[in-house]
Structure 1
Amino acid sequence: MNRIKQLFQEKTNNILNVYFTAGFPKIDDTTVILKALQDGGADLVEIGMPYSDPVADGETIQQSNQIALDNGMTVKLLFEQLSGIREAGITVPILLMGYVNPVIQFGVENFCQKCQEVGVDGLILPDMPASVYEEEYKATFDKYGILNTFLITPQTSEERIKHIDSISDGFIYMVSSASTTGAKSSISTDQEAYFARVNAMNLKNPRLIGFGISDNQTFKKASSQAAGAIIGSAFIKLIGQSTDLAGDIKAFVSSVKNG
């Protein structure tokens, strides 16, 4: 069974998904960060494929993308870095997140095949329309056992949310607001109304809340409204300043989950 599906079958709440940009802060940090996240207790890991124009991301993640690209990170190199991680004891489910253009340039079938080879479980491609996925790529994703995760926002219609739910198999990425990514200190009443509205739809897929999750308080609040949450910018800031990656990452994950 796909590791993401297995995770959500075994655990229904307080799921922590942590995002980092491949090639940041240094080009060869990928496996060090992965292992430290797993050791620290992250339930799911999202690895960003750096892109020159990450339009959905806030300043922190944009800067990490630029540094990673300047360091020389590419999709091909990322697959090389991930080769052998499963044999080396990394068991945590892994998603690759990025923009669809580099995937198309790599070749969608080649990309999915490489994901299967190295043990990547799913993809998040925010700028890929659901209709394009269904018509052109779903069969290929299914062939290689790769789950595709869609994003919904407070502006997404009920009809579209239900359609996304029907073509998804894993979880739905619930963007907490219409803004770009970035750590925030609290969750607003408007956001709570949106969470309640989506919860009332009785979707078949669990949701993880992203954008604005930064610490134990926001993680607990999000986990009360969904299966868990996604942390990106706060983690990128931490590793960008870290002098002890493994130790700092384990301490960060523990503080988010346990306070």
Structure 2
Amino acid sequence: MNRLQRLFASGKKGLLSIYYTAGYPTLNSTIDIAEALEKAGADFLEIGFPYSDPMADGPTIQQSSQTALDNGMNLNVLFDQLGALRKRVSIPVILMGYANPMIQYGVERFCKKAAEVGVDGIIVPDLPMHEYEQLYSKYFNENNLSNIILVTPQTSADRIHKIDELSDCFIYLLSSSSITGKSLDVNDIVDTYFRRIEDMHLKNPTIVGFGIANKTSYQKACAHHHGAIVGSAFVKYLGATENYLDGISDFIRQFKE
């Protein structure tokens, strides 16, 4: 098993993952942030590789992606930086981004490089499931990389079961069909959605993302699922805080304590 699979096999609940964009706020901040997040208590990380047309992302992450691109971040630079990842970080790491840069780089090459630097999983929101299954799953499997697939409130039961069949780690449960950065509205509709997924008794754990910005939304997600992902709130923190490394422990503490 890779690190991610071992983490979920442990049965630990209340997992906290943090998303941030590689190359933001500065080109060379990627590994420093990862190390600080592990020390602060994050259970696993999602490092976004920036793209010029991030259609699922709200203004905060879009802006971070554009800044990262302006800083000079690309997949070649990112993989060079991640060469030092496993000297400083031991928790599971996922790369998250869009299909276009991955395909331009070459999916087989991308998977090999990701495995070489110690990445455990990949999230590509706009990669069609049938394309993954028919064209690319062999590259993921050969390199022991978990492909994490997204589910929305509108995803049919049949498709959810298919995703569960194709998954070997966890399922990324979007709290809504909105873009990133929208606060999770803790209401009866969300509660019913979370319970519907819970009642399906999927073989893979589920982690909630999109809209997790405070302890209330984090605890709401964890009440029905194995944990939650904080993205826009952390990216916003990075952009608004000059000495951002020094405050990461306090940022994590607001969710974990």
Calculate the TM-score normalised by the size of structure 1.
Answer: 0.97
- Tell me the percent identity: 47
Q: Give the alignment of 1:15-54 within 5 angstroms.
A: 15-54=15-54
Consecutive aligned runs of 4 or more in structure 1 exceeding 4 Å deviation = none
Change (3 A) 1:11 1:239: farther
Separation (CA, whole Å) in 2 of partners of 1:28 and 1:85? 12
Separation (CA, whole Å) in 1 of partners of 2:24 and 2:182? 18
Separation (CA, whole Å) in 1 of partners of 2:130 and 2:185? 34
Q: Give the alignment of 1:1-259 within 5 angstroms.
A: 1-86=1-86, 88-184=87-183, 186-258=185-257
> Residue type of the partner of 2:50?
P
> Residue type of the partner of 2:146?
L
SS in 2 for 1:239: helix
**C-alpha deviation, 1:218, in angstroms:** 1.0
**C-alpha deviation, 1:244, in angstroms:** 1.7
Cα-to-partner distance string for 1:232-257 (whole Å, 9 max, x where unaligned): 00000101111222221111012111
Q: Is the 8 A contact 1:17 1:44 kept in 2?
A: yes
Cα-to-partner distance string for 1:123-149 (whole Å, 9 max, x where unaligned): 000001111111001111000001100
Separation (CA, whole Å) in 2 of partners of 1:74 and 1:198? 36
> Residue type of the partner of 1:106?
Y
Change (3 A) 1:185 1:201: closer
Change (3 A) 1:72 1:89: closer
Change (3 A) 1:217 1:70: same
Separation (CA, whole Å) in 2 of partners of 1:201 and 1:11? 18
SS in 1 for 2:169: coil
Cα-to-partner distance string for 1:145-197 (whole Å, 9 max, x where unaligned): 01100000000000000000000011000000111111516422111111111
Separation (CA, whole Å) in 2 of partners of 1:21 and 1:183? 18
Q: Aligned-pair RMSD on alpha carbons? A: 1.0
> Residue type of the partner of 2:68?
A
Q: Is the 8 A contact 2:184 2:210 kept in 1?
A: no
SS in 2 for 1:224: helix
SS in 2 for 1:26: coil
Q: Is the 8 A contact 1:16 1:230 kept in 2?
A: yes
> Residue type of the partner of 1:103?
M
Q: Is the 8 A contact 1:219 1:257 kept in 2?
A: no
Runs of at least 5 residues in structure 2 that lack an aligned partner in the other structure:
none
**C-alpha deviation, 1:11, in angstroms:** 3.8
SS in 1 for 2:100: helix
Runs of at least 5 residues in structure 1 that lack an aligned partner in the other structure:
none
Calculate the TM-score normalised by the size of structure 2.
Answer: 0.98
Separation (CA, whole Å) in 2 of partners of 1:3 and 1:71? 30
Q: Is the 8 A contact 1:239 1:249 kept in 2?
A: no
Q: Is the 8 A contact 1:17 1:229 kept in 2?
A: yes
**C-alpha deviation, 1:9, in angstroms:** 1.4
In the comparison of the two structures, how many residue pairs are matched?
257
Cα-to-partner distance string for 1:175-230 (whole Å, 9 max, x where unaligned): 00111111516422111111111111110000000111011111111100110000
